[in-house]
Amino acid sequence: MKTQRIVEILKSGVVDTDIVVKGWVRTKRGNKNVAFIALNDGSCVNNIQVVVDLAKISEEELKPVTTGACIRIDGRLVASPGAGQGVEVQAEKLEVYGTADPESYPLQKKGHSLEFLREIAYLRPRTNTFGAVLRIRHAMAYAIHEYFNNHGFYYFHTPIITASDCEGAGAMFQVTTLDLNNPPRTETGAIDYSQDFFGKSCNLTVSGQLEGELGALSLGRIYTFGPTFRAENSNTPRHASEFWMIEPEAAFYELEDNMELAEDFLKYLIRYALEHCAEDLEFMNKMWDKGLLERLHFVLEHDFKRLDYTEGIEILKASGRKFEFPCDWGCDLQSEHERYLVEEHFKRPVILINYPKEIKAFYMKQNDDGKTVRAMDVLFPGIGEIIGGSEREADYTKLHNRVTELGMSERELWWYLDTRRWGSAPHSGFGLGFDRLLLFVTGMTNIRDVQPFPRTPQHADF
């Protein structure tokens, strides 16, 4: 008999049929005559109840059925007379696939701190919390692909190993096959990277955007969705050394189109989560963040307020609020400023545009005022910036001048500049950190708790 997943059994509504269920024991309780096993197979947060008549399956046989053990039950699916579940399985036959010695198995039935669970990251997906988080993670990844596929964006694999750090977005990890103990050296004593695997010094990418622009200027609309890296030695709840990023880039999109895309995209994802992850979200809302569902609806139900950075600064200065970091025109906004605008002033998500060029990247389209660029940041409740993007500078001369002005290497950026030499087009894009999106959608507060195997300074386990 084909095994069904528990999520399908619970949803099907079919009863009075023979059934096989396989999964891991969450709990076992009972009395002299009957035992109740809560069985979970990872397909959903809910367990299926297995009822064991001890006249059919002996207490001795049931001994290895402890929390964490993996079993197979052949039996009959029936409507449940008890409260709390619609159906239950009357066991006819038990097979134990794998035991879990209660003396040693770390995940006994009791609350565990997130800190403890991080130490056993290889086991924590077996808990209700991480099962829920990882299923939501899947659903969001799928929704991202679905959204872009439906909107004519092609998935574009930008390189992970790269010789360019043109954006200067952050500290980088070096990738090498040189023998660190005794690296080859040039006559002057410098490391001889011509003997390294790629014939030059290479790093892990910090962003696929520049290559993504090449894609947009040929395929029209593309998106990346891949791992990116930062070698910054920062231990905060929002920074990981390895994280996944989504970067759409579209030819013929101006800033206005880019804003529309960002708002529509984020709302699509949140609507998708509410529709497809209802049980997992309710679990997270109940166990970890009582404001989670409300915050998701808040984003969904409001038009995003669009305004100039300059106006934003004026509002902040006029607010009378004492911020930890003072802000004035020209400053990069801190999370406290962004959250004030969203949560207190406008009471809706905000898209802030036209930032001072000095605090934004070289590739952003320059406004005629000579001071600002067509940047946009999407600001959310609770977390501040969730998306950063811009219309890109399409004019060769302006871009070239900016590269020179900033002392960047034209010799390294020639291919990027070439896209403006031949067949240049207006185009725009943005970046969304997948793990930060997950923080927002799951209500978790530490990035280490939304990634299966987080990489942070001093941590690269499993």
Q: Binders of its own copies among 244-263, rule CB under 8 A?
A: 244, 251-252
CB of 342 to its own copies, least distance (A): 29
Under a CB-based contact definition with an 8 Å cutoff, are residues 39 and 14 in contact? no
Query: Which is nearer to its own copies, 241 or 428 (by Cβ)?
Result: 241
CB of 449 to its own copies, least distance (A): 14
Q: How many CB atoms lie within 10 A of CB 190?
A: 9
| Gap between the Cα atoms of 353 and 389, Å rounded | 9
Query: Which is nearer to its own copies, 229 or 363 (by Cβ)?
Result: 229
CB of 291 to its own copies, least distance (A): 26
User: Cβ neighbours of residue 265 under 8 Å, at least 6 residues apart?
Assistant: 147, 248, 432
Residues of this chain, 381-420, that bind its own copies according to CB under 8 A: 394, 415, 418-420
Residues of this chain, 276-335, that bind its own copies according to CB under 8 A: none
CB of 331 to its own copies, least distance (A): 30
Query: Which is nearer to its own copies, 215 or 443 (by Cβ)?
Result: 215
With binding defined as CB under 8 A, does residue 214 bind its own copies?
A: yes
CB of 163 to its own copies, least distance (A): 5
Using the rule CB under 8 A, which residue among 116, 325, 329, 462 binds its own copies?
A: 462
Burial (CB count <10 Å: 0-12, 13-18, 19+), residue 283: buried
- Amino acid in position 41: D
Of 9-17, 123-131, 326-334, 375-383, the window that binds its own copies (rule: CB under 8 A) is 123-131
Under a CB-based contact definition with an 8 Å cutoff, are residues 296 and 274 in contact? yes
Of 38-46, 287-295, 313-321, 374-382, the window that binds its own copies (rule: CB under 8 A) is 38-46
Nearest residue to 37 (alpha-carbon basis) of 99, 11, 45, 47: 47
CB of 279 to its own copies, least distance (A): 15
With binding defined as CB under 8 A, does residue 103 bind its own copies?
A: no
Phi and psi (nearest 5°) for 49? Answer: -90, 130
Q: Is 204 helix (H, G, I), strand (E, B) or coil?
A: strand
Q: Which residues pair with 32 in a beta bridge?
A: none
CB of 288 to its own copies, least distance (A): 19
| Gap between the Cα atoms of 372 and 330, Å rounded | 10
With binding defined as CB under 8 A, does residue 169 bind its own copies?
A: no
| Gap between the Cα atoms of 195 and 183, Å rounded | 9
With binding defined as CB under 8 A, does residue 116 bind its own copies?
A: no
Q: Which residues pair with 431 in a beta bridge?
A: 388
